Structure 1
Amino acid sequence: MPFHLRGTVLPDGTVRDLWTLGDRITLRRPSVPADTVADGGFLMPGLVDVHTHPGSAAGDETAFDPEVFADQIAAHREAGVTALRFPGLLGEIPDELREAPGSPRMITAGRWLAWAGLSRGAAFHTVTDDLVAAAVAETKAHDGWCKIMGDWDLEAPPVPYELLRAVVDGVHAAGGRVAAHCQSAAGVLGAARAGVDSIEHGMGMPQECVALMAGHGTTYVPTLTPFARRAPLVDTGSARGRLWHEGRRTMIRRVREAYDAGVTVLAGTDSAPHGNVAAEVMHLVEAGLPPAAAVGAAGWTARAFLGLPLLTEGALADITVYDTDPREEPAVLRHPRRVMLRGRIIR
């Protein structure tokens, strides 16, 4: 049986009727009866988390656990997240889970690729002597993305600019896009100069990066939530701790500056707890994004970035419904009245 929804459709703000036929939306009343599952409220395309790494149990970042992955994906889904980008996964997603009726849309970037000259890293990084070839291979093997460790921490030397520029050129020639992890000023500057497609984190971002990102069309995914969670635990009495806190403060300032310069800023949560993209939206608001832009960072703007449609004829039947306008009250994202995924009612 088709489902019927009526409400204010975002982001355009018009009151419309939508119907679902299977896993698609239609704006034309079907010839068969439909069950009305939402009458009033605000209808959004499903939420998006553009930076999350599900699949590893707490305390174990070296092994991919399909059961843990499924549980963490379920947490995203229950929160109204219907699309996910994984800039780095420990393993391959089982086909039956990726295409399951209750699974959000999944966009992967393959493994975390690390330059062989990276002096410090993590066990889950894939170190390679040929970063360009590895990046192109990951792009082709997954969903048109690769993930490069532009650096790892605040003090380790980053990937040399010439090498990162070669990665970007090679991946773009193959029709793909590059996400770059950056946590040092030098790492962020190199990534911004090289024209990567998205800068992830961007701690300590130099001011000049804002114009570089705007000029290259680079998207900024600051992942403020895990940094806010960690901040009380970082010792301000040490030089390294003070550097970390200054880097975080700089990152927060750059969010609004980037937005004002025309850079696309998006919402990603990075780590556990999963299904927490509403918290990232609130952190973006606190950083100075207008509420509507912050909601769009996990909604319509993020979907455009990933090539996913809005609530239009023939679009994917991934819909969230809220009692109040999230553009004015972003906190309502924590409490969806209705979540539909692939045309099925989740809640």
Structure 2
Amino acid sequence: MNLHVRGTILPDGVTRDLWVLGDRITFERPRVESETVARGGFVLPGLVDVHTHPGAAEDGGFDGELFGEQVAAHREAGTALLRFPGLSGTVPDAVREAVGAPRMITAGRWLAWAGLSRKAEFHTVTEELAQAAAAEAVAHDGWCKIMGDWDFEAPPVPYDVMRAVVEAVHAVGGRVAAHCQSADGVLNAARAGIDSIEHGMGMPEESLGFMAANGAAYVPTLTAFAGSRAEVAARGTARSRVWLAGHDTMIRRVGEAHDAGVTVLAGTDSAPFGNVASEVGHLVAAGLPADVAVGAASWRAREFLGLPGIEEGGLADLTVYEADPRREPAVLAHPRRIVVRGQVVR
């Protein structure tokens, strides 16, 4: 059965009818009968979480069953597109190809340069970081994930190594996401032309100009950091004070990044899953205009990742809300109707 939706289409703000034919959108009324699944309200391209790690087991490994459960939580919240910047295992085909499953962009394993001073169990450590990064981008969905640094105090991956990674990945048509926490790590990644900087704790202001010039995105994952702040503050150690100062900096950089022309995107990082609406709230609190924050989890994120929004022939991912989320961002947590890949989820 074809689907019919009438509502105010965002971000354009025009009220009109659209139809879902399979996994595509059309504004031309089909000759066959269609089921009206939404009339009135505000219609967004399906939500996007650009930084999430479902399936991460407590031991640092990958749990395929848990992955399926957490992806389902994303879908039930209206999140129709997920980017995984680093997974410890392989996405189960049964989950990825299931009817109504969110679209998924993988980036392969977390790649760590052998020169980093500290390595986690889930990192894949290599001397040949550029070669490994290019291979991951080719093997997955055009993205790879590297660790730009690890500790706050230790030197990050050197600029020349980062630049070699960018050149190698771009040469095969891929893009690079970099985990960065320290100021030097962020600056090296920004200067090297990294495509997205994840977290960015301690981000120096001068990095914003490089990011804007290179078309890089900033994915601060504020939800995850906000959940850890009270625990870190209670420690009262020198290291915790560095963490807190870095957290303050990354919050301040959100609005400054937008003002500098950097694309800011919404990613939640970890549990609870299906919680990208909370990230939008944190982005607004950090100074991002509400409409920009909503776009960071919808149309702008899709554009950055190379997917269309609500347009003729576009993908059939829709969420419908009673109120305009550009004016009431909290409504994102309460979708009235969810369509993912042309299938009614709610």
Task: Report the residue type matching 2:55 in the other structure.
Answer: G
The amino acid across from 2:259 in the alignment is D
What secondary structure does 2:31 align onto?
coil
Gaps of 5+ in 1: none
Q: Which moved more, 1:126-135 or 1:96-105?
A: 96-105
Match of 1:118 among 102, 116, 119: 116
Calculate percent identity across the aligned residue pairs: 70
SS at match of 1:7: strand
Question: Partners of 1:307 and 1:212 in 2: how far apart?
Answer: 22
> Mapping of 1:98-137 within 5 angstroms?
98-137=96-135
Q: Which residue of 2 aligns with 1:307?
A: 306
User: How far apart, in 2, do the equivalents of 1:346 and 1:64 lie?
Assistant: 26
Aligned to 2:81, which of 80, 83, 87? 83
Residues 100 and 342, structure 2, Cα contact 8 Å, conserved in 1 = no
Contact (CA 8 Å) 2:113, 2:129: kept in 1 or not?
A: yes
Following superposition of structure 1 onto structure 2, how do residues 1-80 of structure 1 map, counting pairs within 5 Å? Answer: 1-57=1-57, 59-61=58-60, 63-80=61-78
- List per-residue Cα deviations over 1:241-273 (Å, max 9, x = no partner): 111000000000011000001100000000111
1:209 is aligned with what amino acid?
Answer: S
Aligned counterparts of 2:75 and 2:248: Cα–Cα separation in 1: 31
The alignment's TM-score, normalised by the length of structure 1, stands at 0.98
Please state whether the residue corresponding to 2:264 is helix, strand or coil. coil
Instruction: Show structure 2 runs of 5+ residues with no match.
Output: none
Cα distance, 1:235 vs structure 2: 3.4
Counterpart in the other structure of 1:218: 216
Q: In structure 1, give the amino acid aligned to 2:123.
A: H
Give the aligned partner of residue 257 of structure 2.
258
Structure 2 residue identity aligned to 1:250: T
Alignment-derived partner of residue 156 in structure 1: 154
Matching residue of 1:227: 225
Q: Which runs of 4+ in 1 moved over 6 A?
A: none
For residue 98 of structure 1, report the CA deviation from its aligned partner: 1.0
Secondary structure of 1:3's partner? strand
Shift of 1:70: 0.4
Q: How does 1:159-170 map to 2 (within 5 A)?
A: 159-170=157-168
Deviations 1:286-329 (A, max 9, x none): 00000000000001000001111111111111100000000000
SS at match of 1:235: helix
Other structure's SS at 2:263 match: coil
Q: Using the alignment, how far apart are the partners of 1:180 and 1:204 within structure 2? A: 14
Q: Aligned equivalents of 1:153 and 1:269: distance in 2? A: 21
- Distance in 2 (CA, whole Å) between partners of 1:158 and 1:130 is 16
Q: For the residues of structure 1 that align with 2:163 and 2:266, how far apart are their CA atoms?
A: 26
Residues in 2 aligned to 1:50 and 1:100: alpha-carbon distance in whole angstroms: 20
- CA distance, structure 1, for counterparts of residue 76 and residue 141 of structure 2: 24
Is residue 116–residue 149 contact of structure 2 (8 Å, CA) maintained in 1? yes
Q: CA deviation at 1:97?
A: 1.7
Q: Shift of residue 50 of structure 1?
A: 0.2
What residue identity is the alignment partner of 1:336?
P
Give the structure 1 partner of residue 190 of structure 2: 192
Shift of 1:45: 0.5
* Contact 2:73–2:274 (CA under 8 A) maintained in structure 1: yes
Partner residue, 1:282: 281
Matched, 1:342 2:341: yes
Equivalent residues of 2:233, 2:244 under 8 A apart: no
Q: Separation in 1 of the partners of 2:275 and 2:97?
A: 23
1:124 aligned partner, one-letter code: F
1:244 counterpart SS class: helix
Distance 1:121 1:223 in 2: 21
Tell me the alpha carbon deviations over residues 176-215 of structure 1, each in whole angstroms, 9 at most, x when there is no partner: 1010000111111111111100000000011111112112
Q: CA deviation at 1:56?
A: 2.0
| Partner SS, residue 32 of structure 2 | coil
Q: What secondary structure does 1:234 align onto? A: helix
3-state DSSP of counterpart to 1:270: coil
CA RMSD in angstroms comes to: 0.9
